[in-house]
Amino acid sequence: MKKILFFVESLSGGGAEKVLTDLVSNLDATKYDVTVCSLVDVGVYNEYLGTICTYKSILASEETYKGVLQKKWYGFKYKLLRKLPPKLFHSLFIKGKYDVEIAFLEGFSTKIIGNSSNPNSKKIAWVHIDLFANHWTKIEYKNLEEEINTYKKFDHIASVAESVQNAFSKRFGIKEKLSVKYNPVNRKDIISRSNESLKSEDKKGLRFVTVGRLEPQKGYDRLLEVVHKLKPDFDFELWIVGEGSRRLELESAIAKYKLEDVVTLQGFQKNPYKYIRLSDAFVCSSRSEGFSTVVTEALILGKPVIATDCSGMKELLGDNEYGIITENNTESLYFGLKKFLEDKLLQSHYTKKSQERSTDFDIKATIKSIEELL
């Protein structure tokens, strides 16, 4: 059996972490002995991963440290681990010899696996986001040259969409050893879980749902601006499913715009599909994406999608064939939602097109493509 290591910083509930869980769940267990290692033992998927593969973490979650002194000790250890030279970190904490080592997230994970102390392993970097539009990984490196040199140490670099791969090449000038590997999405499981019961009050008109971390990247601040502008003219509501560091800011914006009767922050949900099922349309207001897992899931559930123009959207929605793609700004998002709200024929059209697109997602083909890389 081939020994495979996936290394991530944490399993804190983002889309890439969910993709990793689905990927590991569907790899051929007779061919691969899989280990998932995280820097910090935090997240919603770690317990489940422990039942389907070897899961381990280097640092316990902050929640296990009680009291002020212990919290400070945790902070010290966390900062120390991140400041260690990457090759030393790998030799100290990545235990065992693996045939394939995968940095499944950009940034810290990529830096560590790119400097692996194991000369015999095949090294793969996974890129989930448009690193030209959103070069957030630069905080992990001294300069661009160091990041480029780190990526050049990998045997292969997998991107989750053509547009993500193109952005990667544009940012780093690397055009070899690249391939596109779409995210595995379990259509049958999503449809099955969407049917789980959920108590829901009567709808206030048309219901939009969006799912994602409450972080600037997801653009919920500008989505609330749009909702504020639309509220006087249309009867609708918005559910935001997710948790994150910007909750207080979003709550303040909801109060400022007097949207308490329109917008509901649903918090993180292990099963977001039942929320999507109860929607009339799905909204993606993101400033940047890679290949949006949750838009894929909304299409699988036959929901119309209104999305800002991020990486992967044209691959998912075509040229507005299967959903509405707006320019990536507040004004265009406003007009996209307004157009959808005022046109019942358009709503019906995109419901049918989404249901059509739903049948195109085949997890077996996606997993086979990924296994060919390992």
Residue range of the domain that includes 324: 187-358
Whether residues 117 and 252 fall in one domain: no
212 and 176: one domain?
A: no
The verdict on 157 and 194 lying in the same domain is no
218 and 340 both lie in a single domain: yes
Shared domain check, 129 and 98: yes
Whether the pLDDT of residue 14 is over 70: the answer is no
pLDDT tier at 193 (50, 70, 90 boundaries)? Answer: very high
Buried b (16+ CB within 10 A) or exposed e, 60-79: ebeeebeeeeeeeebeeeee
Whether 201 has a pLDDT exceeding 70, the answer reads no
User: For residues 186 and 330, which has the higher predicted lDDT (pLDDT)?
Assistant: 330
What is the overall mean pLDDT for the chain?
A: 93
The string of pLDDT tens digits covering residues 44-94 is 778 888 899 999 999 988 888 888 889 899 899 999 999 999 999 999 999
Per-residue pLDDT, averaged over 288-311, amounts to 91
pLDDT score recorded for residue 280: 96
Report if residue 365 sits inside a domain.
no
**What's residue 18's pLDDT?**
80
Residue 96 has pLDDT above 90, yes or no: no
Q: What is the mean pLDDT of residues 301-322?
A: 93
* 265 contacts 287 by C-beta, under 8 angstroms: no
Burial 266-301 (b: 16+ CB within 10 A, else e): eeebeebbbbbbebbbbbbbbbbbbbbbbbbbbbbb
What pLDDT does residue 255 have? Answer: 96
The pLDDT value given to residue 359: 85
Q: For residue 250, is pLDDT > 80?
A: yes
Of 154, 181, 208, the one marking the end of a domain is: 181
Same domain flag for 141 and 191: no
Q: Which residues pair with 308 in a beta bridge?
A: 326
- Supply the CATH number for residue 252's domain: 3.40.50.2000
Is residue 96, in this structure, part of any structural domain at all?
yes
pLDDT at 347 over 90: yes
pLDDT tens figures, 133-189: 889 999 999 999 999 999 999 999 999 989 899 999 999 999 999 999 998 988 999
Are residue 132 and residue 213 in the same domain, yes or no?
no
pTM: 0.81
Which residue has tokens 């507005």? 320
pLDDT of 15 > 90? The answer is no
Residue 366 located in a structural domain: no
**Looking at the structure, do residues 141 and 26 belong to the same domain, yes or no?**
yes
* pLDDT for residue 272 is more than 80: yes
- Whether 175 and 217 map to the same domain: the answer is no
Across 106-120, 190-204, 335-349, least confident range: 190-204
Number of CB atoms found within 10 A of residue 41's CB:
18
> Integer distance in angstroms from the first to the last C-alpha of the chain?
12
Give me the pLDDT at residue 13, please: 60
Q: Are both 148 and 62 inside the same structural domain?
A: yes
The predicted pLDDT at position 34 comes to 97
Is residue 334 over pLDDT 90? yes
Residue 33 located in a structural domain: yes
